[in-house]
Amino acid sequence: MSRRKRLAQAAGVAGLGLIGLLTAGRLAFFLPPDTLEVAVQASGTPVPLRPGDTVRILIWNVQYGAGRDRHFFYDGGEDVHVPPDEVERTLASIAEVIRKVDPDVVLLQEVDRGSARTGKVDQYSDLLKRVSYSNASATPYHKVPYVPHPTGNHLGRVDMNLAVFSKHAIVKSTRYQLPLLDEPAHRQLFNLRRALMEVVLPIEGGGELRLYNTHLSAFSRGDGTLGKQVAVLAEHADKAAAAGVPWVLAGDLNALPPGDNPSRLLEKDRALYREETTPIQPLYDRFTPAMTVEAYHAAPEDWRSYIAFGQDAPDRTLDYAFHGGVTQLNHQVLSEVLDVSDHLPLLLEIQLPN
């Protein structure tokens, strides 16, 4: 065999090996379809949900149980991992808040399940053991077998979830894929795959309540991703409204309220909000917000829900709730919960139609 043929053969074998490696790698990653049915975990007897009932909903980005003491690399610090004993203490604090508030439904964002960065603790299962909810469901939005970043101190395995706990029955849970950040394919493979989670709670007499839990992209820096994600949220809210179904959409939307000027923030944070108009403006234009623009600008300090590292008080609002077909009875930021997560929890109280 000639040298040229041997080189060509070797190149072919190497090429096949590379294709096989890439294929195996993709199979190991979480690459969900646009719509994915999600398992519901049921234990105990759910509380019946009836027309006219009041439903109290806690909404909280729990910062993957990492606590408030560490300055993480994505915020300009050096920390990457959190020891499991710190995670367990934070989970105990999260559970204490949930038990004290005693909501009917809990919508959580950033719940780690066996991630290397948080001591491989399954936070979803851990929290369920600490609180009393008959139905629960979770779905990943950052699930990667190994993240080789940051340099010299890799994240490793990541499995971060949206989660819902409910005293009422959940008859269906569905994950909808949201548009990804505008970045190269190899970065998308290792990055977050943001999602919208829909859970359906049956109402006696044949009705239902649809709850949407989500966490939109951070660090998009005005690339249009947030606008595309918001369009998907609006599409699902429109479908519920068209069907005459009461609904609530809530979570960490990673955007400032309408009319809030990012120039008031620390210089390092201003670039995160480059859009001339907040990307969540369409939600305010089309649906009923739990926090109105007027309420925010009348007392912005009452509604700010994100605490930047090194700060003693929240400096911006990133967490929201919108609803349709229900009556809002109460909505507040639980401003006393300052030392558990970099986000404060929200409490929304609604009444179902009769």
What is the Cα–Cα distance from 194 to 179, expressed in whole angstroms?
A: 7
> pLDDT tens for residues 246-273?
999 999 999 999 999 999 999 889 989 9
> pLDDT tens for residues 16-46?
444 444 444 455 899 999 999 999 999 989 9
Q: Diameter of the chain by CA atoms?
A: 84
Determine which helix (DSSP H) or strand (DSSP E) holds 53, and give its type and residue range. none
Percent of the chain with pLDDT over 70: 92
**Coil vs helix vs strand at 120:** coil
Mean residue pLDDT of the chain comes to 93
How much is the pLDDT for 81? 98
Backbone angles phi, psi at 147, to 5 degrees: -105, 110
Burial of 293 (0-12, 13-18, 19+ CB in 10 A): middle
Residue 120: pLDDT over 60? yes
**Coil vs helix vs strand at 341:** coil
For the whole model, what pTM was predicted? 0.92
What is the Cα–Cα distance from 159 to 163, expressed in whole angstroms?
A: 12
Residue 222: pLDDT over 80? yes
Determine which helix (DSSP H) or strand (DSSP E) holds 233, and give its type and residue range. helix 225-242
Please say whether the dihedral angle defined by the alpha carbons of residues 13, 18, 21 and 23, taken in this order, is positive or negative. Answer: negative
How much is the pLDDT for 331? 98
How much is the pLDDT for 118? 98
DSSP 48: P
Buried b (16+ CB within 10 A) or exposed e, 73-99: eeeeeebbbbeeebbbebbebbbebbe
> pLDDT tens for residues 287-345?
999 999 999 999 999 999 999 999 999 999 999 999 999 999 999 999 999 999 999 99
What is the Cα–Cα distance from 347 to 332, expressed in whole angstroms?
A: 5
Residue 102: pLDDT over 60? yes
- The pLDDT confidence band at residue 209, using thresholds 50, 70 and 90, is very high
Residue 162: pLDDT over 60? yes
